[in-house]
Structure 1
Amino acid sequence: MSAEAITSMARFFFKSTSVVLFIVTVVLIVYSTEISFWINSRLASEKSIANNRVNIHLPTYVYGRDSPFLLGNIENTNNAYFRIKLRFRVDDTEGYPNIFQSAPYNRGLRVEIAGSTVAIIVQDLQAPNGLRGMTLTSALEKSRWYVLEVEAMNGAFVRATLDGVSVANYSGDGLNIEMSEFILGAGFDDSRVFKGEIDSSSLVKGNIAFPRLSLAIIYSTIIFAFLLFMVVLWKALSEYYEVRLVVFKLVFISLPLLLVIVYIEYKMSYLNTDYYTRRVALEQEAEKVEVLVVGSSNTFYGVTPEVFSLKGFNLAFPGSGMYFDAKLAEKYSGIMPNLKMVVLTVNYFTFGLDYSTFSQSWRQFALRQNFGISLKTTVGLPFNWQFWLEPRNFSKIALYGKALIGEELLAPVDVVASCLGWFNGGDVAPDLSKNLGLAAAKDHNSTTDSDNYIHNLSDWDTLVSFLRGHNINVVMATLPTDASYYQELDKDKKNKMHDILLDFSARNNIKFVDFTGDGRFSSDDFTWEMPDHLNAKGATKFSKILDEELIVPHFK
């Protein structure tokens, strides 16, 4: 073979290899933004993630009657997380009373009162003196009740709401929050004992796991593939010296921007962890789950599988439509060998919703990225071209950036559920004087279109047939809502919804119970901010009823 032929073959090899390496690098970058890709990879370190989150519900604390509550610790500081919700009133602000602390002295996070100011004090290595203060209010009133929620993750973020208003929202790598001694009602010395009353308090604490190892492996692979691509491209363009210089100038000009984008995507992989952690939790429990519950936020708040007679899991998500309920149930029923029943829940708002115009439709992309659920607009297409035209399908920047700008997500974490998928909404009941039920009903009446009923319900027709074919029982339910809400709903739309659901249940031989106006529930069973969402007390009550009246009878 002549030297010219060998040179020609070498050029062809380098050119074709450079094209292949370019495609490989781009694909790796795209998939590195999608956590579900790495969950599917099932690296050993991620299969063995321990789900150690625990939920603690506390009795009322009264100063002078009760000792401060000792709530344990979190031994492993990596991704240590807690969320505390409570209602408090203060009688005496003398000294520096602490409502709550996660560790003694200045090593953790504490909520401290100083006169009329309530503030979070947290250890932050990036702050000038190693401490960061966040004022929650500077107009504290004695004997007045306040609702407080504080959520924090070590090395990531702190956020807080007071009476439902976001009053603190900070994220930073310097947060060094020790969680060695959780205490409610006191601080690290006698002067910091809280003087007042604390009730409706609950604490979620544990570690949230992230796929750090797999991401590190893939980013190392990207860097290697990119460097190899540059070497091969340099060889491939050896006969085009001017072109080679232009290409490499463009590459090195754009390289810093590319690195910034990749780094931001990597950091944003840790946002809105509920989608990720619930998938991990579900896949860890998959072989044990016997009852799977799907639905929207009403169900996310309102069904606690912890009280079921059978092993259950709540896979309901805020803003989830009936299509996504069906796809999640269908997808995960295939990896649950002991699944006996799927509980389909529906409510007035989602039943009549046109999801394409829904203000929280961005959540469908979070489900797609984390659960691999195809969007309805692309199902059945021979080539999913819309996937690539919509960057929120694969980019965290596109997904969460828009959500954060729109203030639909107010912190690096959306919400974090229990180990079995339920979100504890606290035990604080609504203030009926605010007419929240009327306002919510008016809003839902305006967005609910009865023309969408049949269209949305069609997504369940296929699901029911699929589940029946796999010997999985199906039941349906609407959740309880407060009278201040359901009495204000459009009667024609409400009645039509009820009739259509009854017809669907009869046609498919499915037991259906409408708990909307169930007399066993009062205003005390609903959250203080949403009268169509059950609080923790109401969720426990309803879940026991659901178990006794719909689940257990199927297996007697």
Structure 2
Amino acid sequence: MKLFFKRLAIFSSFAFLAFIIFEYLLRTFPNTYDVKQKLITKNSSEIEVIFTGTSHVFSGIRPKGIDFNSVNLANNSQSLYYDIQIVKRNLDYLKNLKAVVFEINFFTFNYNLDLGPEYWRNIFYYQTFGIEPQTDKVNLVDFSRLYQLKRNEILNLLQSQEENELYYKELGFGGGENMGKGPTQYAGDKKFNSFSEDYVNFKSAFLIEELSNLLMQLTARNVDVYFLQVPVSSYLADNINDSNSLDSTKNILLGFKQKFGTKDLNYFEDSRFSDDLFHDADHLNCKGAEVFTKILNQKLKETIVE
């Protein structure tokens, strides 16, 4: 019996050591959240414009094409709650900030990342930025990368060092993609249904209050605030228009404009963005990102108060 327990102790020791080694190695993998935090830390005194939002902004706006010192802090499936928290937590360090651009979709004020299919991303906001989840509480087991690997989606975050360095050099730009067959009616229908089912999951009052508090801080510092509606393919736009999903969002934005003097950048159905500029129903391809950045740069130069 003593021999059994001795062998068990040896085996357990090796297993624990292997666990520690794997945990350490997995934590050395770069991810987009680390890139965003590094960009803020390294460039805080120079940043003039911040872009926030989902993958539409992440892969659609290239800061190097903007004449102001800019960073792209958007990320895949990033909700408005995390946009607000990232800006709020770094505001004191951004001494030269002139403008913040928030992406707004028809689901923005009703979207809670913690309640959606990619809820597992919230642990990265907690670990990287110190941001508590919007509704969930962080469990101790969530800190384990091995545990996170049980969720297949987490593999999307484990990038090569080359990709990580490229994101950093591109100031947070995720790169317009050329993969996919382009937008189709089927893709537009599927994407709208996905947004409606998975992203409309929360009452808007909380986010409106959180954003209002941040807008008060930004306007007090004379920082321009823009609400950006990104271009989408005609197939997705038709679905959104048919559902009148944007009506409540428009009313919320009007309230902010009247109270805080915010500015709208609406490219939702801009005729300059034909379907050949998209690699799927709602994401611009490389050429589309180039066109969008150029148009946006011109608008910012015309409207940012120096």
TM-score, with length taken from structure 1: 0.49
Q: State how far apart, in whole Å, the 1-side matches of 2:288 and 2:22 are.
A: 40
Say whether residues 1:356 and 2:114 are aligned partners: yes
Say whether residues 1:535 and 2:285 are aligned partners: yes
Cα deviations across residues 439-464 of structure 1 (Å, max 9, x unaligned)?
21222233354863333333311211
> Residue 409 of structure 1 corresponds to which residue in structure 2?
155
Distance 1:258-1:537 versus aligned 2 partners, 3 A rule: same
2:39 aligned residue (281, 285, 289): 281
The residue matched to 1:402 in structure 2 has which SS?
coil
Cα deviations across residues 267-300 of structure 1 (Å, max 9, x unaligned)?
1113352222332233222222111111111110
Equivalent residue runs for 1:259-298 within 5 Å: 259-298=17-56
Q: State how far apart, in whole Å, the 1-side matches of 2:67 and 2:126 are.
A: 32
Q: State how far apart, in whole Å, the 2-side matches of 1:450 and 1:549 are.
A: 33
> Residue 518 of structure 1 corresponds to which residue in structure 2?
270
> Residue 500 of structure 1 corresponds to which residue in structure 2?
252
Deviation (angstroms), 1:371: 2.0
Q: Do the aligned partners of 1:296 and 1:316 also contact (CA within 8 Å) in 2?
A: yes
The residue matched to 2:131 in structure 1 has which SS?
coil
1:482 aligned residue (233, 242, 258): 233
> Residue 297 of structure 2 corresponds to which residue in structure 1?
547
Distance 1:257-1:432 versus aligned 2 partners, 3 A rule: closer
The residue matched to 2:102 in structure 1 has which SS?
strand
Q: Do the aligned partners of 2:113 and 2:122 also contact (CA within 8 Å) in 1?
A: no
Q: State how far apart, in whole Å, the 1-side matches of 2:100 and 2:188 are.
A: 30
> Residue 447 of structure 1 corresponds to which residue in structure 2?
198
Read off the aligned partner of 2:147 and give its amino acid letter.
Answer: A
Cα deviations across residues 173-198 of structure 1 (Å, max 9, x unaligned)?
xxxxxxxxxxxxxxxxxxxxxxxxxx
Cα deviations across residues 510-531 of structure 1 (Å, max 9, x unaligned)?
112322111111112112xx32
Q: Which blocks of at least 5 consecutive residues in structure 2 are unaligned?
A: none
Read off the aligned partner of 1:543 and give its amino acid letter.
Answer: T
Q: State how far apart, in whole Å, the 2-side matches of 1:450 and 1:434 are.
A: 25
Q: Do the aligned partners of 1:327 and 1:373 also contact (CA within 8 Å) in 2?
A: yes
> Residue 218 of structure 2 corresponds to which residue in structure 1?
467
Distance 1:451-1:319 versus aligned 2 partners, 3 A rule: closer
The residue matched to 1:506 in structure 2 has which SS?
helix
Distance 1:410-1:432 versus aligned 2 partners, 3 A rule: closer
Deviation (angstroms), 1:253: 5.8
Equivalent residue runs for 1:46-125 within 5 Å: none
Read off the aligned partner of 2:98 and give its amino acid letter.
Answer: K
Q: Which has the larger share of strand?
A: 1
Q: Do the aligned partners of 1:430 and 1:531 also contact (CA within 8 Å) in 2?
A: no
Q: State how far apart, in whole Å, the 2-side matches of 1:331 and 1:497 are.
A: 26
The residue matched to 2:46 in structure 1 has which SS?
coil
Read off the aligned partner of 1:412 and give its amino acid letter.
Answer: L
Distance 1:315-1:551 versus aligned 2 partners, 3 A rule: farther
The residue matched to 1:501 in structure 2 has which SS?
helix
Q: Do the aligned partners of 2:185 and 2:235 also contact (CA within 8 Å) in 1?
A: no
Q: Do the aligned partners of 2:114 and 2:122 also contact (CA within 8 Å) in 1?
A: no
> Residue 14 of structure 2 corresponds to which residue in structure 1?
256
Cα deviations across residues 352-393 of structure 1 (Å, max 9, x unaligned)?
324332011111111211222222347xxxxxxx44x3422x
Q: State how far apart, in whole Å, the 2-side matches of 1:458 and 1:250 are.
A: 56
Q: Do the aligned partners of 2:39 and 2:71 also contact (CA within 8 Å) in 1?
A: no
The residue matched to 1:477 in structure 2 has which SS?
strand
Q: Do the aligned partners of 1:442 and 1:488 also contact (CA within 8 Å) in 2?
A: no
Q: Do the aligned partners of 1:352 and 1:447 also contact (CA within 8 Å) in 2?
A: no
Of 486-495 and 515-524, deviating more is 486-495
The residue matched to 1:348 in structure 2 has which SS?
coil
Among the aligned pairs, what percent are the same residue? 24
Say whether residues 1:396 and 2:154 are aligned partners: no
Distance 1:411-1:311 versus aligned 2 partners, 3 A rule: closer
Distance 1:531-1:252 versus aligned 2 partners, 3 A rule: same
Read off the aligned partner of 2:283 and give its amino acid letter.
Answer: H
Q: Which has the larger radius of gyration?
A: 1
Read off the aligned partner of 1:423 and give its amino acid letter.
Answer: G
The residue matched to 1:391 in structure 2 has which SS?
helix
Q: Do the aligned partners of 2:116 and 2:199 also contact (CA within 8 Å) in 1?
A: no
Cα deviations across residues 71-100 of structure 1 (Å, max 9, x unaligned)?
xxxxxxxxxxxxxxxxxxxxxxxxxxxxxx
Deviation (angstroms), 1:411: 7.1
Q: State how far apart, in whole Å, the 2-side matches of 1:431 and 1:480 are.
A: 14
Read off the aligned partner of 1:351 and give its amino acid letter.
Answer: F
How many residue pairs match? The answer is 296
Of 248-257 and 440-449, deviating more is 248-257
The residue matched to 1:376 in structure 2 has which SS?
coil
Read off the aligned partner of 1:458 and give its amino acid letter.
Answer: E
Distance 1:432-1:305 versus aligned 2 partners, 3 A rule: closer
> Residue 367 of structure 1 corresponds to which residue in structure 2?
125
Distance 1:315-1:442 versus aligned 2 partners, 3 A rule: same
Read off the aligned partner of 1:347 and give its amino acid letter.
Answer: N
Q: State how far apart, in whole Å, the 1-side matches of 2:175 and 2:122 are.
A: 23
TM-score, with length taken from structure 2: 0.85
Say whether residues 1:423 and 2:174 are aligned partners: yes
The residue matched to 2:225 in structure 1 has which SS?
strand
Q: Do the aligned partners of 2:182 and 2:281 also contact (CA within 8 Å) in 1?
A: no
2:68 aligned residue (293, 297, 310): 310
Q: Do the aligned partners of 1:352 and 1:449 also contact (CA within 8 Å) in 2?
A: yes
Distance 1:445-1:330 versus aligned 2 partners, 3 A rule: same
Distance 1:531-1:470 versus aligned 2 partners, 3 A rule: same
Read off the aligned partner of 1:533 and give its amino acid letter.
Answer: H
Deviation (angstroms), 1:481: 0.7
Q: State how far apart, in whole Å, the 1-side matches of 2:17 and 2:260 are.
A: 54
Q: Which blocks of at least 5 consecutive residues in structure 1 are unaligned?
A: 1-246, 379-385
Distance 1:257-1:482 versus aligned 2 partners, 3 A rule: same
